[in-house]
Amino acid sequence: ATLRRIAKYGDGWMMLAYPPDDTALPEFAKLRRYVQEQGRDPASVGIEIWVANADGTASEWRDEVRFWKQAGVTHITLNGTFGRYFHRRLGKRSLADHLDVMRRYRDAVADLL
């Protein structure tokens, strides 16, 4: 029902429940099909995911961004505080730690965005 409402009225979907693997792809295809059924262009409905592997490595971050971009995701948000589903919170808590991760993440993936 959520995907049908997005297809009819929305301009995007914040998809948080699927990990960066093929399990998300059928849901993306379903959303795009529903959007087309509404007479809308699937490219007009964005898909946002949250990258929540703040303790990961630059290589892991790059692999994940490549996967999501290939899947057609339009927005990627780094979130170090969300700890549900498969997401992992940043193990450290200080503002300086969070800023450090954000800078390292940006430096690692900026050329892929």
- pLDDT at residue 61, rounded to an integer: 92
* Cβ atoms of residues 32 and 3 within 8 Å: no
- pLDDT at residue 72, rounded to an integer: 95
- At residue 75 the predicted structure's pLDDT band, cuts being 50, 70 and 90, is very high
Encode pLDDT of 23-63 as tens digits: 999 999 999 999 999 999 999 999 999 887 777 899 999 99
pTM across the whole model: 0.85
At residue 47's C-alpha, the angle toward residues 72 and 108, to 5°, is 65
Give the whole-angstrom CA distance, residue 39 versus residue 51.
31
Q: What is the mean pLDDT of residues 85-105?
A: 79
The partner residues of 69 in beta bridges, in order of sequence, read none
- pLDDT at residue 22, rounded to an integer: 93
Residue found under tokens 């592997």? 53
CA 68 distance to own-chain centroid: 7
- pLDDT at residue 66, rounded to an integer: 96
Nearest Cα neighbor of 54 from 21, 77, 73 is: 77
Average pLDDT, the chain: 89
Give the whole-angstrom CA distance, residue 31 versus residue 12.
10
